[in-house]
Amino acid sequence: SRRKISKDEL
Amino acid sequence: MNAFRLAGDMTHLLSIILLLHKIRAMKSCAGISLRTQELYVIVFVTRYVDLSMKYYSFYNSIMKIVFLGTSISIVWYMRYHKVVKQTYNKDVDTFRHIFLILPCFVLALLINRAFTVIEVLWTFSLYLEAVAILPQLVLLQRSRNIDNLTGNYVFLLGAYRAFYLLNWIYRFFIENHQVRWIPWLSGLLQTAIYADFFYYYIKSWKNREKLKLPA
């Protein structure tokens, strides 16, 4: 399964 | 963090450093669109509302603070600095903010991952960022001479999102991340808007000519 979305971008 | 993401952040940061250098050292904002700069303030403020609520990394927080602080200070210089504000091409910077802000906000209300304040604002910031360069491109098209600093600034600003596209491809295939249509498609549009500018920028660089966009 794919990794959960994280808003770690700018 | 992969190399594309870092390259993207660094070109973004470098573009801001170039612009601040032009403003602070040359005391000039000629050829720079205040409309675009004000849109970036809105982009950063609406995207980073989670700054005080969610911690990702030291790098992430510092970069957010830098982007917020520099974008606000650029607008301050262009509006209020007694020397800098006189170099602003007010008469040609006529693109109306509201024509970009309103459609982006409506779109964010309609198309988002979750109908919450934070999520809608985050989505709005991505849509707005995609088109925020338009007043700047219109201003460049109307300018006879585009100085090197301004040309390089816009080039780096465009290159930043192009690197992010590569970063998203990398994260999807190599790091097994989930699909994220909203940032991907917004980022793709954002980069596509620069295509014409990139073409003339590279052409002028190859021919060692001054950058000029056809009207």
Average pLDDT score, chain B: 96
Indicate the residue of B9, B64, B176 with minimum beta-carbon distance to A2.
B176
pLDDT at B147: 94
Residue A2 and residue B183: Cβ atoms within 8 Å? no
Residue B177 bridge partners (DSSP): A3
pLDDT at B51: 80
Residue B56 and residue A2: Cβ atoms within 8 Å? no
Picking from B20, B1, B2, the residue whose alpha carbon sits closest to that of residue B156 is B20
Instruction: Label residue B112 by pLDDT band (50, 70, 90).
Output: very high
Instruction: Label residue B38 by pLDDT band (50, 70, 90).
Output: very high
> pLDDT by residue (tens digit) across B158-188?
999 999 999 999 999 999 999 999 999 999 9
Cβ–Cβ pairs < 8 A, chains A and B: 30
* Long-range contacts of B117-122, Cβ-Cβ distance < 8 Å, separation of 24 or more: B118/B49, B118/B50, B118/B53, B121/B46, B121/B47, B121/B49, B122/A7, B122/B46, B122/B47, B122/B49, B122/B50
Which of chain A's residues have a Cβ under 8 Å away from the Cβ of B9? 10
Residue B9 and residue A10: Cβ atoms within 8 Å? yes
The yes-or-no verdict on residue B215 having pLDDT over 80 is no
- The Cα angle at residue B183 between residues B178 and B189, in degrees rounded to 5: 130
